[in-house]
Structure 1
Amino acid sequence: MSNGKESLSPSEMDPNDLPDVPAFQDEYTREYMQSTEQVKDGYYPLISKTNGFTLHFPEDMVVDDTSNAQPDELYESLIFHYEDNDIAAMDEFTIHYISPVSDIEWSKDYMNRRAGQELNFEKLEADYENQYIEVAEMKPDDSTLTLAALIWNDNDQQAQIFTNIICRKDIDKDECASLQDKEREKVIEVFKSIKFLDNKGK
């Protein structure tokens, strides 16, 4: 028998009825969560404030409260990271969603300027039809690996992403490189899970 909870969004539910993970127990992050049903092990669906895109959100991460969306729904910044600040390798995602924007070369040039260097973008196979993804890497220092991603579609929707994978200060260089290799795979999975929605949120 239905108890009415199925029709509620996670932000409307009693936290005691939600999964006991940071993505739902953090009040601000909860506002972004679309459902308590996992899309795959350890990941739940997140929908952006502009309704411009969804992604597979790691259960052990939280959305930073500096994230924001413009009232015209044409721009949004979404920032998220692991809740545990003392983790061996910390992932920090910064996603800028923009629509409409059609000049991909302008976007790459803009990302180059933000990075302070020429980024060597490489194409990846996208998981969704009519979407495209290119990723570049840079190593600002021994403890930081930065992944830059540009994702766009035929509808002039775009996401510009910078993700830093930062090792804790007490982690040595070799262990840090190994940790960053593992985190890189997770980061790419999140990139590829981004799905743009039309203006009806579909």
Structure 2
Amino acid sequence: MWKNHKPLLFMVGISLVLGGCQIAKEKKTSKMQELDLPDVRALQDEFTRGFIESTEEVEKGYYSFLSGTKRYRMLFPKEGVIHQGYGIRDDQFEGFLMSTLNDNGTDSQIKINYYTNESTENAPVVLEILEGRVDQKLEFEKITSESSEVYYAPIEFEPDVFGIAALVVSLNGEGSVQIVYDTQCKNDKNECQQIKEEEIEKMIHWARSFEFVDQEVQ
């Protein structure tokens, strides 16, 4: 992936989960100067910019995003923004909704929950929770790397709204991330079918970009 840098249901219950969470004002403040930034949503939005580690793309169309918990990194789309409702509790929990505009004219929303105390042992229970969140019975595929397991399954809310539900679990005890990623296509049926295939492939690639951070070696 990339090397570590050194230089709408989901949001309803977040306030119940967070309790005394620390909110955005306690996350790192970006030192980037707005006038010098590329004209993309991820860097022009002040709140979102606070998570972006560098103005240099780490992959075409993506920047490196460091979680407010400092527990994981992921690819962040250049036309993505984080919406109101972001919540964090120390390094134990993080939850937020992001949206992005895609080059093919579609738009996507991605709901993310990070929990530091989840592991591979309770993955089956978490996958059932994901099924409940999307209200669908899902058939998950699993991809294993050296440091994580990625479970994903296609979802469809309407003929023109499709995506994946996914779970990324650290194999080294740094927690897991629950994901619901969906895209809306407003083009004609045949074009949307082709777009759907391309988008699902892109979503899986993005889910595989998560890198958990070992707190002990920082």
Q: TM-score range by the shorter chain?
A: 0.7 to 0.9
Q: Secondary structure at the match of 1:95?
A: strand
Q: Does 1:165 align with 2:202?
A: no
- Deviations 1:143-168 (Å, cap 9, x if unpaired)? 11130111102205101100011113
Q: Is residue 23–residue 61 contact of structure 1 (8 Å, CA) maintained in 2? A: yes
**Residues 197 and 179 (structure 1 numbering): CA distance in 2 closer, same or farther, change over 3 Å?**
same
Q: Distance in 2 between matches of 1:95 and 1:161?
A: 5
- Deviations 1:65-110 (Å, cap 9, x if unpaired)? 222212x3211113211258xx732111111101111311111111
User: Which residue matches 1:78?
Assistant: 96
Q: Give the letter aligned to residue 194 of structure 2.
A: S
Deviation at 1:197, TM superposition (A): 0.9
Q: Distance in 2 between matches of 1:143 and 1:201?
A: 45
Q: Distance in 2 between matches of 1:68 and 1:78?
A: 6
Q: Is residue 101–residue 107 contact of structure 2 (8 Å, CA) maintained in 1? A: no
Q: Distance in 2 between matches of 1:94 and 1:194?
A: 14
User: Which residue matches 1:185?
Assistant: 201
Q: Give the letter aligned to residue 96 of structure 2.
A: L
Q: Secondary structure at the match of 1:161?
A: strand
Q: 2:167 aligns with which of 113, 137, 150?
A: 150
Q: 1:65 aligns with which of 84, 95, 111?
A: 84
**Residues 75 and 150 (structure 1 numbering): CA distance in 2 closer, same or farther, change over 3 Å?**
same
- The more displaced of 105-114 and 192-201 is 192-201
Q: Distance in 2 between matches of 1:201 and 1:172?
A: 50
**Residues 14 and 46 (structure 1 numbering): CA distance in 2 closer, same or farther, change over 3 Å?**
same
Q: Is residue 74–residue 99 contact of structure 1 (8 Å, CA) maintained in 2? A: yes
Deviation at 1:194, TM superposition (A): 0.7
Q: Give the letter aligned to residue 191 of structure 2.
A: E
Q: Is residue 174–residue 212 contact of structure 2 (8 Å, CA) maintained in 1? A: no
Q: Does 1:98 align with 2:115?
A: yes
Q: Does 1:12 align with 2:35?
A: no
**Residues 201 and 18 (structure 1 numbering): CA distance in 2 closer, same or farther, change over 3 Å?**
farther
Instruction: Give the % identical residues.
Output: 29
| Residue correspondence of structure 1 range 116-155 to structure 2 within 5 A | 116-126=135-145, 129-154=146-171, 155=173
**Residues 79 and 122 (structure 1 numbering): CA distance in 2 closer, same or farther, change over 3 Å?**
same
Q: Distance in 2 between matches of 1:63 and 1:187?
A: 17
**Residues 56 and 191 (structure 1 numbering): CA distance in 2 closer, same or farther, change over 3 Å?**
same
Q: Is residue 163–residue 181 contact of structure 2 (8 Å, CA) maintained in 1? A: yes
Q: Is residue 69–residue 76 contact of structure 1 (8 Å, CA) maintained in 2? A: yes
Q: Distance in 1 between matches of 2:55 and 2:215?
A: 24
Q: Is residue 23–residue 59 contact of structure 1 (8 Å, CA) maintained in 2? A: yes
Deviation at 1:124, TM superposition (A): 2.3
Q: Secondary structure at the match of 1:12?
A: coil
Q: Secondary structure at the match of 1:80?
A: strand
**Residues 12 and 83 (structure 1 numbering): CA distance in 2 closer, same or farther, change over 3 Å?**
farther
Query: Any gaps of 5 or more consecutive residues in structure 2?
Result: 1-5, 8-27
Q: Does 1:31 align with 2:50?
A: yes
How many residues are aligned here? 189
Q: Distance in 2 between matches of 1:76 and 1:158?
A: 11
TM-score with structure 2 length normalisation?
0.79
